[in-house]
Amino acid sequence: MRVRILFVGVALGATLLFAAQLGAFAGGLGFGLLVYTVDLSGTFAKVPTAAGAAFEALDDAFADLGIPSADRAEIRQGFEQGLDAFEEGLDVFPSLFPLPLFEAGIEIHLPLVVIDGIRISAGYMSDGLVRTIAGLAGTSIPSPLVEIEFEEEGLSGSFEGDLTFSSWRVATELTQRLDVFVAAVSFAVGVHLIGGEATPHVEVDVPPELADGVSASLEALHLDGLTWSSFAVHGAVGVEVGPPFLRLHVEVSFVLPISTSSGWWDVRIGEIGGSLGMVIRF
Contact present, 155 and 205 (Cβ < 8 Å) = no
CA distances from 279 to 100, 174, 185, 244, 264 (A): 18, 16, 13, 8, 39
CA dihedral sign of residues 41, 44, 48, 50: positive
Which tens digit of pLDDT belongs to each residue from 129-156? 999 999 998 888 888 888 888 776 666 7
Q: Which of 54, 59, 57 is nearest to 69 (CA)?
A: 59
Give the separation between CA 108 and CA 210, rounded to whole angstroms.
61
Which tens digit of pLDDT belongs to each residue from 194-247? 999 999 998 888 888 778 888 888 899 999 999 999 999 999 999 999 987 889
Give the separation between CA 64 and CA 209, rounded to whole angstroms.
8
Give the separation between CA 179 and CA 187, rounded to whole angstroms.
12
Give the separation between CA 162 and CA 197, rounded to whole angstroms.
14
Q: What percent of the chain has pLDDT over 90?
A: 47
State residue 270's pLDDT score: 93
Kindly indicate whether the domain formed by 2-41+95-281 is annotated with CATH number 3.40.605.10. Answer: no
Residue ranges for the chain with pLDDT beneath 70: 1-26, 112-113, 152-155
